C-alpha cells in the first residue's frame, strides 16, 4: 500500500490527467483503485456479512447484490447502477418446512378452563317450525350451546377484560316446536392450499371489542403477536395463544375489506388526490404498497409496481388533480402536480456532489424552487413569480446537454415534467409537495422494517384494508377501533357492510 491519503476528487478532470507523467499516473491510479475497492466493499455490506441490522438491507436486494431502487417513498423507477458487480452470499436453500406448528408436534391446551364472571342469555327470534316470531313469554326449555367470550370493557379508570358466558337458549313455541338459538356465521375467507380456512363466526372466544384492541396493538402500535400475548397475560391476566391473536388480526382485516370499495369511489370523486408508493414484501415476492388519499379518505393497496395498479385504483379519468412524485406511472394523468420537495432533495444531492458545476446548479436550483414556493404561498404578483419560472426553464435548457450525467438528468427531468412542476403556480389551492401521502405511508414503512411485510395475498389485502379504515377514521375524527369492533361484529353475524360516517 503506497499511500492511504484519498485523492481529492473534486479537483480532478481530464486536463489534470493529461498533464501527469507515467509514474504520477500509476500512483494516482493505485490511489483511485484503493478508494474504489473500499467503496465496493462498503456497498457489499449487508446484514449477513456485517453488524448492520436486517432492516438496513435494501428492499429489492435480498441476496442479489445491488438494489434496483433505494429509499422508502418516492424512488425513481429503474435507476441504473454503475457500481461493479458485488459478490454476495448465496441465499440459503429453502428447507421445505412450513412455518408454524409441525405435523405430529404435541398440542397445547389451556391449563384451566376460563371462569365466567357473568352470563348473557341469547334467544332465537323466530320459530323454526311455524316461522312465527317468538315472544318473551314463550317457555325456555333449556340451554343449548354455551361458551366463554373475552370482552374488552371501557371503565372510568381505563379498560378491563371481562369473561362472559354466552348461553344460547332453547325456546318452545305455542305450536309445540322447540327452537334453539345458534351463534351466527359470517364470511369465509378462502385461501388455496390452506388446511383450515378462515371462517368468521360468533362462536369465538375473543369478542369483537378485544379483537379490535389486538388489531390496534398490532397495526397502529407495531407489536408482534408474541409481544401482544405477553402484554395481555402480564397486564390483563388473560392467556391467549399466538394462533388466537393471529386469527383476530386476520378477522379484522377480512371484515374491513368491503369498506375499501366505497372509500375508493370517494377518492376518485375528490378534487385533490395524493398518491405515493413504497416497496413491500409479500412472502418471497417484491411488491409495492400504494396509497391514494384525500383530505377525508385514504386507501392503501398492495400489488405490483406496474402502471396498471394505479389505473385500477383511480380509474382512467379522474376529475380532480393528482399530487405525486416523479414516478412514470402517474404521467398518464394530465391534471397532475409534481412534488417539489423531491426535486429540492435532488437539488441538495447535486449540491453535495463532487462536481463544481453540479454544486453550483444544485444550490441555485434549490434556492429558486424554495423561492417559487414562498412566492406562491405569499401570493406575490406575476412580476416575481414569472421571472423565477423563466429563469428555471432557461437554466434547465442550458444544462440539458451538460457533460455531467447527474446535472443533465435533473435538467431534462424538470423540462420533461415542466407543466406538472409548476401546476401549483396557477392553481394556488394545490399543495406544492406530496408530504401528505408520504406521512400516511410512514406507518407502513415502519411496519415493513419491523415485520418484513406480509406472507400471503390474504394477509396483504387484510393489512391494506385495515390501514385504509384506520387512516380514513382518523381523518374523519371517528374512533377507528370502535368502528372496527362494530364492523367485525357485523361481519361475524353475516352483514358485510358498515360504511365509515362522513367527517364531522
Ligand atoms: Zn312455532
Query: What is the tens place of the pLDDT at every residue in 16-26?
Result: 888 889 998 99
Cβ neighbourhood burial of 122 (10 Å; 0-12, 13-18, 19+) = middle
Q: Residue 150 is inside which H or E element, if any?
A: strand 139-155
Judge whether 73 and 325 are in contact, CB under 8 Å: yes
The per-residue pLDDT string of the chain (504 residues; one tens digit each, 9 = 90 and over) reads 444 566 777 778 888 888 889 998 998 898 898 888 888 888 877 777 777 777 777 766 554 444 333 334 333 333 334 444 444 556 667 788 877 778 888 887 877 888 888 999 988 888 888 888 888 777 777 888 889 999 999 888 888 999 999 999 898 888 888 888 888 888 888 877 777 788 888 888 899 999 999 999 999 999 999 999 999 999 988 889 898 999 999 999 988 888 888 888 888 888 888 988 888 988 888 888 999 998 889 999 998 888 788 888 887 767 788 888 878 778 877 888 888 888 888 888 888 877 778 888 888 888 888 888 888 887 777 777 777 778 888 888 888 888 778 888 888 888 888 888 888 878 878 888 888 888 888 988 898 888 888 888 888 888 999 999 999 999 999 888 989 999 999 888 888 777 888 876
**What confidence score (pLDDT) does residue 71 get?**
39
From the CA of 179, how far away is ligand 1's center (Å)? Answer: 8
User: Degrees (nearest 5) of the Cα angle 163, 255, 314?
Assistant: 155
From the CA of 131, how far away is ligand 1's center (Å)? Answer: 6
CA atoms within 13 A on the CB side of 158: 5
From the CA of 126, how far away is ligand 1's center (Å)? Answer: 8
- The DSSP symbol for 56 reads G
Of 339, 337, 332, 349, the residue nearest 441 (C-alpha): 339
From the CA of 354, how far away is ligand 1's center (Å)? Answer: 88
From the CA of 177, how far away is ligand 1's center (Å)? Answer: 5
Using CA atoms of 92, 98, 103, 108 in order, give the dihedral in degrees to the nearest 10: 110
- Cell 507515467 appears where? 22
From the CA of 125, how far away is ligand 1's center (Å)? Answer: 11
Judge whether 200 and 186 are in contact, CB under 8 Å: yes
From the CA of 130, how far away is ligand 1's center (Å)? Answer: 4
Judge whether 153 and 209 are in contact, CB under 8 Å: yes
From the CA of 63, how far away is ligand 1's center (Å)? Answer: 68
Taking only the tens place, the pLDDT of each residue in 54-91 is 777 776 655 444 433 333 433 333 333 444 444 455 66
Of 243, 296, 2, the residue nearest 101 (C-alpha): 243
Q: Where are the alpha helices (DSSP H) in 352-422?
A: 356-377, 382-399, 405-416, 418-421
User: What is the greatest pairwise CA distance in the chain?
Assistant: 113
Q: Residue 240 is inside which H or E element, if any?
A: none
**What confidence score (pLDDT) does residue 106 get?**
84
Please state, in angstroms and as integers, the Cα–Cα distance from residue 238 to each residue in 108, 230, 501, following that order: 16, 9, 33
**What confidence score (pLDDT) does residue 60 get?**
61
From the CA of 181, how far away is ligand 1's center (Å)? Answer: 14
From the CA of 146, how far away is ligand 1's center (Å)? Answer: 23
From the CA of 121, how far away is ligand 1's center (Å)? Answer: 20
- By DSSP bridging, strand 198-201 and strand 185-189 are antiparallel
From the CA of 173, how far away is ligand 1's center (Å)? Answer: 5
What percentage of residues in the chain have a pLDDT greater than 90? Answer: 13
From the CA of 167, how far away is ligand 1's center (Å)? Answer: 21
Kindly provide the b/e burial profile for residues 37-51, where b requires at least 16 CB atoms within 10 angstroms of the residue's own CB. eeeeeeebebeeeee
Cβ neighbourhood burial of 333 (10 Å; 0-12, 13-18, 19+) = buried
Amino acid at each position: 500500500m503506497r499511500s492511504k491519503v484519498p485523492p481529492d476528487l473534486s479537483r480532478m478532470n481530464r486536463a489534470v490527467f493529461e498533464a501527469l507523467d507515467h509514474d504520477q499516473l500509476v500512483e494516482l491510479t493505485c490511489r483511485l483503485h484503493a478508494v474504489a475497492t473500499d467503496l465496493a466493499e462498503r456497498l457489499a455490506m449487508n446484514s449477513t456479512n456485517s453488524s448492520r441490522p436486517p432492516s438496513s438491507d435494501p428492499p429489492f436486494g435480498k441476496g442479489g447484490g445491488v438494489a434496483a431502487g433505494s429509499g422508502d417513498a418516492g424512488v425513481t423507477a429503474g435507476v441504473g447502477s454503475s457500481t461493479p458487480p458485488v459478490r454476495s452470499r448465496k441465499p440459503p436453500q429453502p428447507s421445505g418446512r412450513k412455518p408454524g406448528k409441525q405435523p405430529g408436534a404435541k398440542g397445547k391446551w389451556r391449563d384451566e378452563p376460563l371462569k365466567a364472571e357473568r352470563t348473557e342469555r341469547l334467544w332465537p327470534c323466530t320459530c323454526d317450525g311455524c316461522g312465527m316470531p317468538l315472544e318473551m313469554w314463550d317457555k325456555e326449555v333449556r340451554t343449548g350451546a354455551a361458551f366463554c367470550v373475552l370482552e374488552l370493557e371501557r371503565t372510568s379508570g381505563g379498560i378491563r377484560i371481562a369473561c362472559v358466558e354466552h348461553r344460547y337458549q332453547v325456546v318452545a313455541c305455542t305450536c309445540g316446536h322447540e327452537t334453539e338459538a345458534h351463534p351466527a356465521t359470517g364470511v369465509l375467507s378462502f385461501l388455496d392450499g390452506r388446511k383450515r380456512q378462515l371462517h368468521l363466526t360468533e362462536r369465538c372466544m375473543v369478542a369483537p371489542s378485544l379483537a379490535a384492541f389486538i388489531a390496534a396493538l398490532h397495526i397502529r402500535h407495531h407489536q408482534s403477536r408474541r409481544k401482544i400475548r405477553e402484554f395481555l397475560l402480564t397486564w390483563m391476566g388473560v392467556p391467549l395463544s399466538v394462533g388466537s391473536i393471529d386469527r383476530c388480526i386476520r378477522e379484522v382485516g377480512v371484515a374491513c375489506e368491503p369498506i375499501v370499495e366505497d372509500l375508493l369511489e370517494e377518492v376518485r370523486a375528490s378534487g385533490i388526490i395524493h398518491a405515493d408508493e413504497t416497496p413491500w414484501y409479500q412472502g418471497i415476492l417484491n411488491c409495492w404498497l400504494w396509497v391514494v388519499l384525500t383530505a377525508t379518505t385514504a386507501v392503501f393497496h398492495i400489488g405490483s409496481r406496474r402502471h396498471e395498479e394505479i389505473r385500477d385504483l383511480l380509474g382512467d379519468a379522474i376529475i380532480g388533480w393528482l399530487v405525486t412524485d416523479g414516478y412514470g406511472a402517474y404521467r398518464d394523468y394530465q391534471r397532475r402536480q409534481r412534488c417539489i420537495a423531491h426535486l429540492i432533495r435532488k437539488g441538495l444531492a447535486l449540491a453535495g456532489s463532487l462536481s463544481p458545476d453540479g454544486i453550483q446548479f444544485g444550490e441555485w436550483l434549490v434556492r429558486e424552487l424554495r423561492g417559487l414556493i414562498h412566492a406562491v404561498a405569499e401570493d406575490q404578483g406575476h412580476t416575481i413569480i414569472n421571472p423565477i419560472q423563466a429563469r428555471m426553464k432557461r437554466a434547465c435548457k442550458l444544462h440539458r446537454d451538460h457533460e455531467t450525467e447527474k446535472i443533465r438528468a435533473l435538467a431534462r427531468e424538470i423540462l420533461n415534467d415542466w407543466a406538472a412542476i409548476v401546476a401549483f403556480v396557477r392553481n394556488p389551492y394545490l399543495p406544492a409537495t406530496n408530504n401528505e401521502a408520504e406521512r400516511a405511508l410512514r406507518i407502513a414503512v415502519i411496519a415493513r422494517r419491523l415485520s418484513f411485510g406480509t406472507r400471503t395475498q390474504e394477509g396483504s389485502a387484510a393489512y391494506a384494508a385495515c390501514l385504509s379504515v384506520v387512516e380514513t377514521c382518523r381523518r374523519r375524527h371517528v374512533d377507528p377501533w370502535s368502528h372496527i369492533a362494530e364492523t367485525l361484529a357485523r361481519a361475524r353475524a353475516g352483514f358485510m357492510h358498515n360504511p365509515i360516517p362522513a367527517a364531522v
